[in-house]
Amino acid sequence: MSYQPPRLNHVFISDRLKQQLVEIKKYPITTVIAPMGFGKTTALNWWAKQMTKKYEDSVIIRQMIVSDSLGDFWTGFCRAFKEEPDLAEKLKELGFPKDATSMALFSELIRDALSGIKGHIYYILDDLHLLRQESLTSLLMMFSGSMPEYAHIILISRNQIFTDEEKMRLGSLLFEIRTEDLRLSRNEISSYAKHCGLEISKDELDELSLLTEGWISMIYLNFKSYVQNGTWLSKSSDILTLIDEVLLKPLPLRHRKFLILIGMADEFTPEQAAYLWGQSDWRELLDSLTKNNAFITKEDNGVYRYHYMLSLCVRRKFAQKPDKYKKDSYSRLGAWYFKQEEYLPAYYAYACGTDWKGLLKVLERDKGESLNAEHSKDFFGWMRDCPEEILLTNPVAIIVCMVKMFSYNNIAEIKRLKKLLLKALDQNPKLTLQERNNLLGDAEVAESFLCYNDLSAMCAHHKRACALLNRTTISVDKTEAWTFSAPSVLMMYHRRVGYADSENAEMKGCMPYYYKIFDGHGAGSEHSFAADLHYERGQITDADISNRMALSAAKQKNQYSIMVCCGFLSMRMALLDGDYDKIKKLGDELRDLLYKERQYTLLNTLDMCLGFIYALLGYPDKAPVWMAEGKLTEALVMFPATPMLNTFYNHLLLAKGEWTEVIARKEDCLKLYSIYPSILCEIRLHIQLSAAFLKLDRRMEALTELKTALDLALPDRIITPFAESEEYISELLEELKNKGVYSAEITKIMVLAVKFREARQNIGKDYFGEDKDYGLTNRELKIARLAAQRKTNTEIAIELKLAQGTVRNHLSRVYDKLGISGDGKNKRLALESILKVDE
């Protein structure tokens, strides 16, 4: 028989492990957890190939984690679904889900996209230990619950993934493959040797088993060493030293240089390897290295990856190269990513090579869009380290930096960059006068954001920009939300008591300049401001006209954030008309539009609007869950919208009867509302505080707060916030009126309040069954409804000003009349069910 050389690169999977891998198909989630080098990835790759051979309709989706970055993870996640391009694009638009709304949308997108696939779907996420982000665990659990029953998630990590509590919640849904399942026994090492074509003695097998402790990477390196020089490796050496001795040092010098150079990249294609090496023998070198090294794998998509241990080893070697070689190599890597329009890795490659010209070139092309909040620290570092003389040669990049610094709230850096821009323009004689003016115009736009909420100051910048620019500005993306996800233009920009009419005039005078340089960004906003103002003054017809004008202008320029503002005002007007069907229709149509147009950042804005509507109606339990539960900090709304979010949440608290919580939030809310002054938020806060104090029998404080609200509102003839809150403050308004305080204005408020009360009551009767008494008295019905909202007897007693014993007796009669029996908790649940079913 002819001699057969050892087959060291042939994959070996023990029979015991094969039996474990078969179980994956039975579970929604599988975790494969073991230290580095135990063959986790190799085992799953082997298993995946077996699955696709045995079941041709199986779908394998792979993703490798390469950094501790949620942004990088999400980019890779979207890319993993490239065979479902529509899903991949929607996921890219959504961004990493960080709140309840985006989580729910993520779940829906996954479920809808994958439900049509017939075979089993397996999503393999490898090297999860590199991403140390707690929010990812929640996403993975949501992901597993969103996928069809024939879909499976396989997570590979060196560290534990789920906590004990999470494992308990997953229960029988989770299958675990552990270190001991991957560790080779003495007999399995013997089988591995035979599989590779090696003959080893019993003593050598005993020595190898003791030396490696079943660690397959160590076994492979020993086999490699044994074939090369007939000796086993020392147990005392660390694994990277062994990799160097066995895999790198025996290589010809040219092969070794190639291996170290290409290891700069986390993964690479043949074309990328050819570009980085820059010489004609790249194919020969790549084929030779992959054929003789099990630590380099080629995926089905043609992408190559080094095993993590090999990557660590070659990067150590690369770090020892001369500085010029490293800089040139990183610059070449950056240039490759730039050509492929992979801007995020291009930034980092150029930064590693301190190639600031290259980095600014990426910034100019990308406009900073690939950089998000988690990259801010690195971005600040780049701009700090980039020599001033290089920045001065690229004024366009300076403009992009100014805009990016605003999104990162780095005001000092914006001012520094403006000075640099002026200096750059003075030092650049090649620029034409118009080119200089365009850059100055862009800078004016960037600086205008520093004056957010101050219409006069912003308008001055925009007028100067308009005079300078002969094109639209590069400082703003027209597709971004003009309102910064706020639900009302008036709430954004009404900042001075008694100046609402002046602000309205400024909006109408300023926006034509803005539209000219922004190509219609925010179209309809001046009409939306006017519509809101009319409505807050109780001028319903004028509000309707202006709102329709705003909606028409917004539709022409696809300004979805303005459309949401228009929809919100339309819902408030429909509430005043007692038309709940219209409220529902408007909300549903808006949600469908935002889904269709992938305006996912505005979904939370719509939730804010609906939460406020249900608070006004007195049904806080129907508000979006994240709002009702007060998860405000988790919501993906931009900072300018947070005052409105907190205002609407306060009204939900009133509707839930949480009076002390409203009062406790006073100082935080006042501080928030003062950052970018919002008079309407302040007005509503004082109304809400007045209502809460009254419910707690602190009447003088309630009157003081209400008087403060009136002082802020009436100089601008704003009355609707008081009418919308009539159920809480009507008796206080009457008291102030009788004392001669704003008597004429309060009379107008009460006329509107009556209309609002009737509309709310009609909606309650027609749509929520409030006219049904279930055979209960009025007092019993009130107590029953509060009990159904899971309020305790004590809370009900306080709210209705009754003794606890009276509440208990009334509830006992309610249970008897409705035929409810059982223990206290089950009685409450049954009561809640009866009332909710009828609603």
The residue ranking higher by pLDDT, 535 or 235, is 535
Answer for the pair 676, 640: CB distance below 8 angstroms, yes or no. yes
CA geometry: angle 47, 48, 54, nearest 5 deg: 90
Query: How many Cα atoms occupy the beta-carbon half-sphere of 452 within 13 Å?
Result: 20
What's the pLDDT tens digit per position in 572-593?
A: 999 999 999 999 999 999 999 9
pLDDT recorded at residue 837: 44
Ramachandran area for residue 368 (φ above 0: left; ψ -120 to 50: alpha; else beta):
left
Share of the chain above pLDDT 90, in %: 55
CA distance 727 to 733: 11
Residue 814 dihedral angles phi and psi, to the nearest 5°: -60, -45
pLDDT at 646 over 70: yes
Highest-pLDDT range among 282-296, 386-400, 541-555: 541-555
What's the pLDDT tens digit per position in 121-139?
A: 899 999 898 887 777 777 7
pLDDT recorded at residue 165: 86
Answer for the pair 620, 655: CB distance below 8 angstroms, yes or no. yes
pLDDT interval class at 838 (50, 70, 90): very low
| Structural Rg of the chain based on CA atoms | 33
Query: How many Cα atoms occupy the beta-carbon half-sphere of 713 within 13 Å?
Result: 29
The most distant pair of C-alpha atoms in the chain lies apart, rounded to whole Å, by: 115
CA geometry: angle 644, 645, 650, nearest 5 deg: 95
Range with lowest mean pLDDT among 6-15, 133-142, 607-616, 704-713: 133-142
pTM above 0.85, yes or no: no
The residue ranking higher by pLDDT, 8 or 815, is 815
Helix, coil or strand: residue 30: strand
Which residue pairs from 665-668 have beta carbons closer than 8 angstroms and sit at least 24 positions apart in sequence?
Answer: none
Residue 587's alpha-carbon distances to 566, 575, 607, 653, 677, in angstroms, are 11, 12, 9, 22, 29
Q: Give every CB contact of residue 297 below 8 A, 6+ residues apart in sequence.
A: 41, 42, 45, 304, 305, 307
Burial 377-414 (b: 16+ CB within 10 A, else e): eebeebbeebeeeebbebbbbbbbbbbbbbebebeebb
Say which amino acid occupies 834: I
The residue ranking higher by pLDDT, 236 or 679, is 679
Among 644, 560, 578, which residue's Cα sits nearest to residue 609? 644
Structure tokens at 785: 């409804």
CA distance 644 to 154: 42
Residue 558 dihedral angles phi and psi, to the nearest 5°: 55, 45
Range with lowest mean pLDDT among 68-72, 429-433, 511-515: 68-72
Among 331, 262, 302, 398, which residue's Cα sits nearest to residue 82? 302
What's the pLDDT tens digit per position in 760-800?
A: 989 988 887 665 667 788 788 888 888 887 788 877 887 78
pLDDT recorded at residue 617: 94
Highest-pLDDT range among 517-521, 600-604, 695-699, 717-721: 717-721
Q: What is the mean pLDDT of residues 718-739?
A: 95
Among 669, 659, 720, which residue's Cα sits nearest to residue 690? 659
Share of the chain above pLDDT 70, in %: 97
pLDDT at 631 over 90: no
CA distance 642 to 39: 49
pLDDT at 41 over 50: yes
pLDDT averaged over every residue in the chain: 89
CA distance 462 to 399: 16
Among 256, 168, 195, which residue's Cα sits nearest to residue 14? 195
Q: What is the mean pLDDT of residues 185-208?
A: 89
